[in-house]
Amino acid sequence: MWENSNRPYIEGGCLTSIYDLYSMVFHWGQSNDEGSEHTLDYIRYPMELQVWHIKRGLNTLLDAIAAKESDGILIVSYFFQITNADNSYLDHIITNLWRIIKPGTKVHVPPFPLLWIFPYFETDYYTYNGSLTQPPCSEIVTWILQPEPIAISSSQVAQFRQICSSDGPILLNCRPVQRVNGRNVYFYS
C-alpha cells in the first residue's frame, strides 16, 4: 500500500472531487464471450478491470457506503480484448495468480508502474452515475468507461479462471449486464 502522500489519485475532467486509489478488481467469465460487467456497442468483453477510487475525505469503502453520497466512489473500467500474443505488461499480476490457492489468500506483488496495466487518458470516455456491482449495490458510484480495450491472450485469461474459491475454480465472477434504467450516459471528449 501507499503512504497517503504517495497514494495515486485522479481528478479533473468530468470529476468535481479528488479520488484516491482504493483497489483494482478483475472480472471475467466462463468463456471469451462474457466477463465484462458493461458492454460497448452491445459488445461484451472477456474481462473487465475496475479501478476503484474513494472520494478524498471518506477514506474507506465502508465510509463511502455509509456517507451515501452519489459520487462517493469512482470506478474507472477498462475492457480486455483477446489477442494472439500475451500482454507482457500484465506479467506482474498473472505470474502471481497461481499463488492464490484458497479464499482469503493475500499475495504480495512487487511494485510496478500502474500505467503498465492501464493507459493514461484525459478525454474520449463514457461516464454515468450508477451503483456498485455487488451488494449492497448502493447508488454512490461515478463510472468512467475507457472504450479502447487492452490486449490480453486467451491463455492469460485462462490463468484468472484458475483462481479458486471454496467451491473450486472461479470461472465466472461478473454479474449480468444491467439495463441503463433511465440513467444518462455521457461521452466526454
Q: In this prediction, what percent of the chain has a pLDDT beyond 90? A: 77
Tell me the per-residue pLDDT of 113-141, one tens digit each, with 9 for 90 and over: 989 998 889 999 999 999 999 999 999 99
As a whole number of angstroms, the distance between CA 10 and CA 42 comes to 28
pLDDT value of position 1: 59
Tell me the per-residue pLDDT of 90-120, one tens digit each, with 9 for 90 and over: 999 999 999 987 888 889 888 889 899 988 8
Tell me the per-residue pLDDT of 57-84, one tens digit each, with 9 for 90 and over: 998 999 999 999 999 999 999 999 999 9
Q: Where are the alpha helices (DSSP H) in the chain?
A: 61-67, 91-94, 154-160
Bridge partners, 74 (sequence order): 53, 142
**Contact (Cβ atoms closer than 8 angstroms) between residue 80 and residue 47:** yes
Q: Read off the pLDDT of each residue in 149-155 and give the average, rounded to a whole number.
A: 97
Mean of pLDDT over the chain: 93
Q: Is the whole-model pTM more than 0.85?
A: yes
As a whole number of angstroms, the distance between CA 17 and CA 93 comes to 30
Phi, psi of 114 (to 5 degrees): -60, -30
The pLDDT of residue 4 is above 70: no
Nearest alpha carbon to residue 152 among 77, 86, 97: 86
pLDDT value of position 6: 82
The pLDDT of residue 153 is above 80: yes
As a whole number of angstroms, the distance between CA 49 and CA 36 comes to 8
pLDDT-based confidence at 21, cuts 50/70/90? very high
Q: What is the tally of helices (H) and strands (E) in the chain?
A: 3, 11
